[in-house]
Structures are given as C-alpha cells and as structure tokens.
Amino acid sequence: MCAALKNRERTSKALNLVTLQRALSKLGFCSRSQAGLLIASGNVQVNAKLCADPEQWIDLVQDLITVDGRQLSRKKFCYVLFHKQAGIVTTRTDERGRKTIYDILDPSMRHLMPVGRLDKETSGMLLLTNDHQWAERMTNPKSHVRKLYDVQVDRPLTLQEEKSLRSGICIRNDGNDYVTLPATLTREGTLKYRIGLTEGKNRQVRKMFKAAGADIVSLKRIAIGSLKLGTLPSGHWRVLSEEETALSKQVESSGADAGISKRNY
C-alpha cells in the first residue's frame, strides 16, 4: 500500500470521513449494497450536487447528503429482541393472509426490519432494528456469529448421526447439494438436542436433522451471538440495553461470540 493511501486512511479515521456508499449505511438509511444502487441511479446528492461516485469521501459531520430530496441525518438506532411464536411469519405483509410478526409487535415498530428470518413453525429469538449496517454484519456468514437452537426430534439419533451433524452433513440448498459447516451439538434429553451454527441457509436446521434421518417436532432459537432469549415470554419483546448492543457489535466485528472461538467450529 502506497504512503499516500495510508495517510488518507489515517485521515479518514481522524476526521470521520467515509465513502458515500458507507455513509448511507452508517446513517441508517440502507445497506451498503443498496446504497451502491441508489448512487448509481443518480438519486443521491452531496451538498446539493449530484454524486454518482460511491467512493467519494464524505464528512459525516459537515457534508449534507440527500436521497430523492430527503435530507439524511444521524438517526437514533433501535435494537429489539422479540420472542416469536410458532405459527406466524417473519414478513411485513403476507400475500396468503397469514399472521405476521408485525401483527404482534407494537405499531411503532413497523419501521424496524428483522435481522434474518425464522420460518413459520420455528419459535424463539428474533432481532429487529433500523441499523442496516449492524443487521448486515450480524447475518453475514463471514462474521461467524453463532445461532443456538433447541431441537426436539421424533426419534433419538445414533452416535454416528450425531457425529455427522457436528462434522458437516449434505443437504439440498437452492437446488444444489451443500455440505454444512461444522456445528456444535449436545444431547439435552432422549429426544432433545441443542445445536449451534455459524451459517444460516434456508431452513438449515430442519434440513440437517432430516438428512440425519430424524424429523423435527419443535424448533426454537435461543441465542444469537452474545444475545440470549432468556426468560422473555412468547409473544413479548424488549429493547436491548446499550451494554448488550455494544457487546454484540464487538462480537460480530471480531468474528467470535460468547467466548467461543472459530476453532470450535
């Protein structure tokens, strides 16, 4: 890396300079990928001038950014932990008329987006936020944020089947064969298991146990990274504390969680 670029990077950190694409994300307007599309389409202005360069340096304190005439400013971020019941879907609206999480949540939370999904019959911990950057990194497989699930199955697994779930098992994903990453698995009872994943393919836990030869009777997510569902009743929610939010950001930035290193996977 040339000296000039190093100096510019040091200057950007000292003066709160970021690229325009990153600025839209840091201000909570949209994700970085969505920001790139907005900028390329000519919808973004900086100090009343059209800017089509996503890499242009922006001073978050002094520069004025507008998107489609709407002035952006630092917004107050909100982080909510919701105990989703089985039987409702994780969407804002449903074309089939099924009940959604937004029918349960307070109307003031409709602007919050889910951080990842839970399928209709899966219960447990769901995070919601208006912090697009945090949500994107919490769900990015490269962050290695672990999701922990309690599983009840229709029959006990053999030791070999348990071993296959831990080491990686072949499932179908988007029409292709896929071998899952190593997972943690503990037996909690005759028909109960606790499994931890650092990835999140569509209906992955259900597909993994199906591939091992057992059907899931109930599935509940109990933790994401350092955040835990705890004793929060089903259908209730709470706002994360500043300490919880700060810790979760440290966890997902470092690529580990709850004291478990990547080597455990």
CATH of the domain at 92: 3.30.70.580
Q: Are residues 131 and 234 in the same domain?
A: yes
Q: Cα dihedral sign for 160, 155, 170, 254? A: negative
User: What is the tally of structural domains in the chain?
Assistant: 3
To the query of whether residue 119 is one of the catalytic residues in this protein, the response is yes
Q: Do residues 251 and 216 share a domain?
A: no
- What is the span of the domain harbouring residue 238? 79-141+227-264
CATH number, position 165: 3.30.70.1560
Say whether both 153 and 219 belong to one domain. Answer: yes
- Strand stretches in the chain, DSSP E: 17-19, 44-46, 49-50, 57-59, 65-67, 70-71, 79-84, 113-114, 123-129, 147-153, 170-173, 176-179, 184-187, 192-197, 216-224, 227-228, 237-239
- Geometric angle at alpha carbon 116, from 115 and 122, rounded to 5°: 120
Q: Are residues 134 and 231 in the same domain?
A: yes
Say if residue 219 is in the same domain as residue 89.
no
Local confidence pLDDT in tens for the 265 residues of the chain? 444 334 444 444 444 688 999 888 878 788 888 899 999 999 999 998 999 999 999 887 778 899 988 888 766 789 999 999 999 999 888 889 999 999 999 988 988 999 989 999 999 999 999 888 888 888 888 888 999 999 999 999 999 999 999 999 999 998 999 999 999 999 999 999 999 999 989 999 999 999 999 999 999 999 999 999 999 999 999 999 988 988 888 755 554 444 333 333 2
One of 53, 103, 119, 154 is an active-site residue; which one?
A: 119
> Does 52 share its domain with 162?
no
Cα separation, 13 vs 41, whole angstroms: 28
Residues 9 and 104 in one domain: no
Residues 152 and 201 in one domain: yes
- From CA 128, how far away is CA 148, in angstroms rounded? 17
Instruction: Judge if 66 and 89 occupy the same domain.
Output: no
Considering the domain architecture, whether residues 165 and 215 belong to the same structural domain is answered as yes
CATH value at residue 45: 3.10.290.10
Residues 206 and 234 placed together within one structural domain of the fold: no
Note whether 154 and 213 are same-domain residues.
Answer: yes
